[in-house]
Amino acid sequence: MKCAFGKADILTTVSNTLTQLKDSESIIAQVLSEVTTKTNIIDKLVLENEQLKHNVQELNLRLNSVMADTMNKSGTFENTNDEYSNTKLAQRFDSHVKQIWIEVNDEIEEEFNEVDRLSILSEMCQNVFTAFHTEVDFANQRILDSIFSDEKTFDDSLLKEVRSARKLYSGKSTTREKQIEKILQSIQWSKEINRIISERPETLIKTFLAELADVSWLMVTSNPPLILNFDVKGKEYTARIKERFVECGTSEAISHCKCEPGHVLLVAWPSVELENNKGYLTKGEVVVMPNEINNKMTI
């Protein structure tokens, strides 16, 4: 029996098969080339994505730095991560320092009546803060005078720059310790307070002064600086003062005090405020002189 396919047919079939194989190889090569191209594009996109992430992180860091610096210089906002922010300083003064103040008040209870104790502690507090406030204000003025000696007045932005630079270093422990020691030694105490301090070298009074001095330094070197308000003493206890001070009741009758009824006899605890009456952070406490009826009722 003869084969249905001739030799020519076999050769044609083989040729066609080889052609198909070549076409398949070409297609496979093309596909592989496209896969390689796509892979390279993907790898490039991955690298670009990583670079973009890095750039975004860098921009965020720079933005945070700029914002922190802007807040610091402007004094309008606070950096909540700053342990020496005005809000945290006010809280520290009104909690930690005040607690020691209460303990000192109890410590000298047997030696003085209530009003005298509050007056002595108020005077101590005011003397310390005033000393720090005066020193820093004078130092800031010296800096501005040395740079702009021909100017009679200074733009607020210049003072903010000086305060911003001072704040960067004021929180350092070595700077604080030196300044606090120097300023505390410069205070001229009254004979009464000097006696109390000298008779109690290792008591809460020294701790109170140290804590008060430390927070006072941080307050006056902040930007904007904080102040302790004692200025309402002797003024009528009006609604305006009530916004920043609460009345502090006394357990002992108030007598022999030169103060008009309804007026602030003394600032037992100052309010913490921004300078130039721009607002307050914590309220203070005042003793108000009672009128005759209230005074008789107390007795």
**pLDDT digits 0-9 by tens, 223-246:** 889 999 999 999 999 999 999 999
Where on the phi/psi map is residue 6: left (φ > 0), alpha (ψ -120 to 50), or beta?
beta
SS3 state at 246? strand
pLDDT for the residue 130: 96
Pair 261, 291: CB distance under 8 Å: yes
Q: What is the mean pLDDT of the segment spanning 45-72?
A: 60
More confident residue, 8 or 83: 83
At 18, the pLDDT band (50, 70, 90 cuts) reads low
Give me the helices (H) in the chain, please.
7-74, 86-92, 98-107, 114-147, 156-170, 173-186, 191-199, 204-220, 239-242, 292-298
pLDDT for the residue 299: 28
CA dihedral 161, 164, 169, 172 (to 10 degrees): 170
CA dihedral 179, 183, 184, 189 (to 10 degrees): 180
Residue 226 backbone dihedrals phi, psi, to 5 degrees:
-105, 155
* pLDDT cut 70: percent of the chain above it: 73
* pLDDT cut 90: percent of the chain above it: 40
Sheet of 271-274, strands arranged across: 226-229, 271-274, 280-282
What's the rounded Cα separation, in Å, for the pair 205 and 213?
12
What's the rounded Cα separation, in Å, for the pair 273 and 283?
9
User: Which of 19-23, 103-107, 134-138, 202-206 shows the lowest per-residue confidence on average (mean pLDDT)?
Assistant: 19-23
What's the rounded Cα separation, in Å, for the pair 201 and 289?
34
Q: Which amino acid is at 175?
A: T
pTM of the model: 0.68
pLDDT for the residue 296: 38
CA-wise closest residue to 161 among 67, 71, 73, 65: 73
Instruction: Please determine, for residue 293, whether its predicted confidence score (pLDDT) is greater than 50.
Output: no
pLDDT in tens, 243-281: 999 998 888 878 777 888 999 999 999 999 998 888 899
CB atoms within 10 A of CB 248: 16
Structure tokens at 277: 């009456």
Structure tokens at 46: 């991955």
pLDDT for the residue 58: 64
Structure tokens at 51: 């670079």
What's the rounded Cα separation, in Å, for the pair 152 and 176?
31
pLDDT for the residue 243: 94
What's the rounded Cα separation, in Å, for the pair 219 and 229?
13
Structure tokens at 215: 């927070």
Residue extents of the structural domains in the chain: 1-71, 85-298
Instruction: Please determine, for residue 59, whether its predicted confidence score (pLDDT) is greater than 80.
Output: no
CB atoms within 10 A of CB 221: 24
pLDDT for the residue 115: 92
What's the rounded Cα separation, in Å, for the pair 63 and 224?
22
Residue 109 backbone dihedrals phi, psi, to 5 degrees:
-60, -40
CA dihedral 28, 31, 37, 40 (to 10 degrees): -80
pLDDT in tens, 158-200: 677 776 767 766 777 777 888 899 999 999 999 999 998 888 8
pLDDT for the residue 43: 79
At 44, the pLDDT band (50, 70, 90 cuts) reads confident
Count of residues in the chain: 299
pLDDT for the residue 71: 43
pLDDT in tens, 85-112: 999 999 999 999 999 999 999 999 989 9
CB atoms within 10 A of CB 132: 25
